[in-house]
Amino acid sequence: MNQNSFKSIRRILFILGLAVSLSIMATFIVYKEGVWVILSESKNAFAEHQRKAAIANYGTHLPEFDEVCVLTLVETELAGNLGRFTAPYTHQKLFIQKSIILAGEEAQEIGSHWRNLVFGDGGAACFEPHHVLQFRLMNKVICESVVCFHCSNLTLPTFPRPVLIGFYDSDVVGESTKLQSLLEKAKDRNK
């Protein structure tokens, strides 16, 4: 192909792109409300799909892991803090007070209580998290969850950002209370 052929092809592609852009703009102008409804419905459907996928992948079917890193968060910057933590869905300034790695039976017990929780609607509450759970396999984080036991909400990984999920106990057993108690005991034991 010679130089003139490339110029002709580029010119045709430019005109085609311009025509498509003008068609899209005209559609938005003429059918503005209808287009926004369709886009809004698509966005909501995508968000619901992401939420269900996160629950399926990281809730009751949490993948295999060999350790859990537990970060304890506080709102006050103190001399011994390990750094700042930016949690989604909150504007609180949070700092890592403590980092504990649990392995073996202790980690698996946390996983057992986690998998026994019921995950569902959430998001309309305080969300003032004080714990981060990083489930790891061979030193790689497979699930990071920011947890607020006050309002029973947590985050689960999704793209492009974590989703906020509610959690509660399936029966009187009190899995969330047991989980919180295990985390507090681990924190206190490792002072």
Predicted TM-score (pTM) of the model is 0.73
pLDDT of amino acid 135 = 97
pLDDT in tens, 15-58: 888 888 888 877 777 777 776 677 778 878 888 888 898 999 99
Q: In the chain, what percentage of residues exceed pLDDT 90?
A: 24
pLDDT in tens, 48-107: 888 898 999 998 899 999 999 999 888 887 766 788 888 888 888 898 988 899 999 999
Where b means 16+ CB within 10 Å and e means fewer, 122-159 reads beeeebbbbbbbbbbeeeeebbbbbbbbeebbbbbbbe
| CATH number assigned to the domain with residue range 57-189, chosen from the 4 options 3.30.1490, 1.10.4160, 3.40.1350, 2.60.40 | 3.30.1490
Q: Could you state, in order of their start, the residue ranges of all structural domains in the chain? A: 3-46, 57-189
pLDDT band of 172, cuts 50, 70, 90: low
